[in-house]
Amino acid sequence: MLQILGRVFLTIVIPIIGGYLGTSLNTFDIYLLLATSWSFWAYAQPGPQELWQTGGWAGVLKGWLLMAIAILMVAGPAYGVGYLIARAWSTTGS
pLDDT in tens, 18-76: 888 888 888 888 888 887 777 766 655 556 667 667 777 787 777 778 877 888 888 88
Query: Coil, strand, or helix at residue 91?
Result: helix
Q: 68: buried, middle or exposed (CB in 10 Å: 19+, 13-18, 0-12)?
A: middle
**What is the domain partition of the chain in residue ranges?**
45-81
Q: 4: buried, middle or exposed (CB in 10 Å: 19+, 13-18, 0-12)?
A: exposed
Query: What pTM was estimated for this model as a whole?
Result: 0.68
What residues have CB less than 8 Å from 50, skipping those under 6 apart? none
